[in-house]
Amino acid sequence: SNRSRSAAMREVTHRPVRITTRPDSNGVQQPTSVWFGMNTFGLRDMRAKLPKDVYKKLAASIRLGKKLDSDIAPVVAQVIKEWALSRGVTHFTHWFQPQTGLTAEKHDAFLNFDENKLPMETFTGEQLIQSEPDASSFPSGGLRATWEARGYTAWNPGSPVFISETGGVKYLCIPSVFIGYNGEALDEMTPLLRSSDVLSAATIKLLELMGDTGVLRVNTTLGVEQEFFLIDRAHFALRPDLVMANRSLVGAPPPRGQQLEDHYFGGIPERVQACISEVEHELYKLGVPIVTRHNEVAPSQFEMAPIFEDSDIAVDHNHLTMAVLRKVALRHGLQAIVHEKPFAGINGSGKHCNWSLAITSDNNLDGTNLLKPGKTPHQNLRFLIILAAVLKGVHKHAGLLRAGIATSGNEHRLGANEAPPAIISAFLGKGLTQVIEDIAGGKTSPANAEQAMLKLGVAKLPEVEQDNTDRNRTSPFAFTGAKFEFRAVGGSQSIAFPVMLLQAGVAEAVIELTEALAKEIKTAKSTDDAVLKVVRKAFKETTAVRFEGNNYSDEWVVEAKSRGLLNLRRTPEAMAELKTDSAKALFKGTGILTDVELESRYHVRLERYVKDILIELHTLQQMIDTQVLPASYAYLAQLAGTAGQGAAAGINMQPVVDAANATSKLVAAAQKKRAELAKVITKAEALHDDLDAQAVYLTSTGCDALAEVRETSDALELAIGDEFWPLPRYREMLFPV
């Protein structure tokens, strides 16, 4: 077969398994708990090293999500520096999340010189809490013009500093936010933190009104299931589309995909197992609590999931998970791909975001999960009103949630067979649906909320739900026991944005429900009765967003339309939801984003979409010109030569001529589509002054052109001789031998 392909095949089949070992002492590998978080400097380390009063202040700011007191910064910096130097660290960096979907870092050495020009290591309080990278080259969506590209990063003390180890070099990372000089959010983390703060304050007010006092903070909790593919590096390197666009733009479907249903939860291949274990080791050092791993549905697809954490830390940890996965996979000769749809015809990769709210307090409420039914009628009313707030937020801002997961990659996944559709609805399960419908339908009189709770059996729900085996895997937003699972989120995206949108919508609903409750309390017999009344109204209002059926069915599309639910299939129309009046009112009202900040998010995301599709168009054009067509010509030349030689020897070479003619037809079709593709690129690029028009053109004509060219290429892949085909086939990439 083709020379590079067979060389890759040889490499793949001869790759040894790289065995990984955990840190050991005296030759014995240590249990994970002994060294978990060894590369982080968290609260426990701080307590051991800091003066008591400094530690107290720091701990308070971490626990309550507050900014660090600047007068304790020098002392904190000092102990962090000592720890870092003792670990062989030479540099530090503020580690932040610009709107690129990735993280950013710029390293500075601890090395400094004293007044006698003698070398020494320094690290000031100022350097710990603030830094000024040159912000001019990060996307800002017009938020700050490049000539006034001033921005700074500031430590988020809630997220522990950590040591990155790469290529034998160690440097200290300080998880940070990235803001403009007037406080504008230039990054993904700032709005997320703001939404957590707003939701916390609003929920505390609601709880106080209900008589649950002494709550210091309501944290949002997040557990992120990460799906990904692992394919061999040698194959990856031969695919310009995977290298450039993280997804295959051509590739004929193999006879076997995932139809045997034999990969899901199957035995993890040894090379992959070794790789994933090493990924886990590296993540454990960084304090990322990965606890599950398994084969996913598609061939060569896998999943890892951590124990949930506070949402900002979970976001940091998901970035680390993706980065470590990519890095460590290479050591094993593997390429990790988190793109939403790297291979057509088989499942893509998502990122299920499990989300809930938990109380921090000095009393017995500490640790309460607000999305978990409790034991007493009062606790269950509390659960129901928070549930009502989530439903209200999702109902009113379904369009925003859709916008939050709108990327070029996820466009291929949403609505495809394995992924939830572009319609946002909520699944609640049989037991809970019954409770909601009984309340909404007035089956229980709000005259005595306590009795109603007992009668409805809310307290028994967790047991009911556990038995409820028909958990709906098709829902984009499902209640799964004591948390909601936002499943429509894409595998490669930063989850800060979709989680922020969810939190903003829920915060607004909590504020509205609190106002309604304050009114009801004035006339109700008891607070609990008033709560039930408010909950009943909210359940009634949000009926349309609850759906228990099969989200993949055609009937749902029709039904959702009649319910007035949005079905935004393409990215630009989904993105437009960021510009509606209700979106503007939400962000202004909650103070999470200013109009300008919101507008910039729209702009950055749409621009990214346009760039993604343009990169795909150019990549495909180059692959057709330099690989697909030349391979086809070579094959035709061989047929022609064979026919000529055979004819000279007096053999009937008509069959060969027929085969050549058939292939020649396919080549002509490919050339034609390729020419149309070039025109599409020219036209799209000519629209560069009008981003909206460009996006609309690319999402329709642009994506059609990609699909049509692919069709002709895939036909050629199946027509020409195997030794001529230059690109690793789906079979070779997905079914390693």
Least distance (Å) between residue 298 CB and Mg ion: 16
Contact between 360 and ligand ADP by CB under 6 A: the answer reads no
Q: Which does 222 bind (CB under 5 to 8 A by kind): Mg ion, ligand ADP, none?
A: ligand ADP
At 445, the amino acid letter reads: S
Least distance (Å) between residue 356 CB and ligand ADP: 3
Least distance (Å) between residue 664 CB and ligand ADP: 53
Please say which residue, 172 or 478, places its beta carbon nearer to Mg ion: 478
Nearest residue to 694 via CA among 580, 598, 605, 609? 609
Question: In this structure, are residues 516 and 537 in contact, taking their beta carbons and an 8 Å threshold?
Answer: yes
Contact between 483 and Mg ion by CB under 5 A: the answer reads no
Q: Which of 351, 392, 413, 483 binds ligand ADP (CB under 6 A)?
A: 483
Cα angle at 57 between 306 and 186, to 5 degrees? 60
Q: Which does 1 bind (CB under 5 to 8 A by kind): ligand ADP, Mg ion, none?
A: none
How many angstroms separate the CA atoms of 568 and 577, rounded?
10
> Which range touches ligand ADP (CB under 6 A), out of 47-55, 59-67, 476-484, 530-538?
476-484
How many angstroms separate the CA atoms of 201 and 213, rounded?
13
The residues that bridge with 25 in the sheet, in sequence order, are: 28
- 261: tokens are 């249903």
**Whose structure tokens read 């915060």?**
507
- Helix axis angle for 496-523 and 189-209, nearest 10°, is 20
- 347: tokens are 């499942």
Please say which residue, 85 or 482, places its beta carbon nearer to ligand ADP: 482
At 318, the amino acid letter reads: N
Please say which residue, 55 or 355, places its beta carbon nearer to ligand ADP: 355
Please say which residue, 229 or 355, places its beta carbon nearer to ligand ADP: 355
Nearest residue to 195 via CA among 365, 95, 310? 310
| Distance from the Cα of residue 122 to its chain's centroid | 37
**Residue 121 DSSP class:** E
Contact between 355 and ligand ADP by CB under 6 A: the answer reads yes
Q: Which of 57, 94, 233, 352 binds Mg ion (CB under 5 A)?
A: 352
> Which range touches Mg ion (CB under 5 A), out of 243-251, 273-281, 349-357, 444-452?
349-357
Contact between 546 and Mg ion by CB under 5 A: the answer reads no
Shortest Cβ contact with ligand ADP: which residue? 223
**Separation of first and last alpha carbons in the chain:** 16
Least distance (Å) between residue 368 CB and ligand ADP: 11
Please say which residue, 235 or 487, places its beta carbon nearer to Mg ion: 487
> Which range touches Mg ion (CB under 5 A), out of 273-281, 347-355, 573-581, 641-649?
347-355
Contact between 223 and ligand ADP by CB under 6 A: the answer reads yes
Contact between 369 and ligand ADP by CB under 6 A: the answer reads yes
Please say which residue, 176 or 196, places its beta carbon nearer to ligand ADP: 196
Question: In this structure, are residues 339 and 491 in contact, taking their beta carbons and an 8 Å threshold?
Answer: yes
How many angstroms separate the CA atoms of 671 and 708, rounded?
11
Q: Which does 151 bind (CB under 5 to 8 A by kind): ligand ADP, Mg ion, none?
A: none
> What percent of the chain is helix, strand and coil (3-state, nearest 5)?
55, 15, 35
Per DSSP, the three-state class of 29 is strand
Nearest residue to 603 via CA among 143, 138, 96? 143
> Which range touches ligand ADP (CB under 6 A), out of 164-172, 439-447, 482-490, 705-713?
482-490
How many angstroms separate the CA atoms of 360 and 368, rounded?
8
Q: Which does 356 bind (CB under 5 to 8 A by kind): Mg ion, ligand ADP, none?
A: ligand ADP
How many angstroms separate the CA atoms of 509 and 589, rounded?
11
> Which range touches ligand ADP (CB under 6 A), out of 215-223, 234-242, 321-329, 391-399?
215-223
- Helix axis angle for 581-590 and 496-523, nearest 10°, is 80
Question: In this structure, are residues 305 and 290 in contact, taking their beta carbons and an 8 Å threshold?
Answer: yes
Q: Which of 34, 111, 307, 686 binds ligand ADP (CB under 6 A)?
A: 307
Please say which residue, 352 or 710, places its beta carbon nearer to Mg ion: 352
Size of residue set near ligand ADP by CB under 6 A: 16
Contact between 480 and ligand ADP by CB under 6 A: the answer reads yes
Contact between 724 and ligand ADP by CB under 6 A: the answer reads no
Shortest Cβ contact with Mg ion: which residue? 352
Q: Which does 155 bind (CB under 5 to 8 A by kind): ligand ADP, Mg ion, none?
A: none
| Distance from the Cα of residue 218 to its chain's centroid | 23
Q: Which of 356, 475, 492, 551 binds ligand ADP (CB under 6 A)?
A: 356
Please say which residue, 317 or 352, places its beta carbon nearer to Mg ion: 352
CB neighbours of residue 711 within 10 Å = 13
Please say which residue, 209 or 315, places its beta carbon nearer to Mg ion: 315
Q: Which does 335 bind (CB under 5 to 8 A by kind): ligand ADP, Mg ion, none?
A: none
Site for Mg ion in 681-700 (CB under 5 A): none
Please say which residue, 174 or 305, places its beta carbon nearer to ligand ADP: 305
Site for Mg ion in 201-240 (CB under 5 A): none
- 661: tokens are 């003619």
Question: In this structure, are residues 472 and 568 in contact, taking their beta carbons and an 8 Å threshold?
Answer: no
Q: Which does 91 bind (CB under 5 to 8 A by kind): Mg ion, ligand ADP, none?
A: none
Contact between 222 and ligand ADP by CB under 6 A: the answer reads yes
Site for ligand ADP in 109-138 (CB under 6 A): none
Please say which residue, 308 or 730, places its beta carbon nearer to ligand ADP: 308
Contacts with 733 (C-beta within 8 Å, 6 or more apart), sequence order: 231, 232, 235, 236, 239, 300, 343
Please say which residue, 141 or 223, places its beta carbon nearer to Mg ion: 223
Please say which residue, 355 or 635, places its beta carbon nearer to ligand ADP: 355
Per DSSP, the three-state class of 178 is strand
Q: Which does 221 bind (CB under 5 to 8 A by kind): Mg ion, ligand ADP, none?
A: ligand ADP
Nearest residue to 387 via CA among 476, 500, 477? 477
DSSP class per residue in 555-585: HHHHHHHHTT-----SHHHHHGGGGSHHHHH
How many angstroms separate the CA atoms of 360 and 196, rounded?
13
**Whose structure tokens read 């290429």?**
713
Name the residues that contact ligand ADP, by CB under 6 A.
Answer: 221-223, 225, 305-308, 354-356, 369, 480, 482-483, 485
Name the residues that contact Mg ion, by CB under 5 A.
Answer: 352
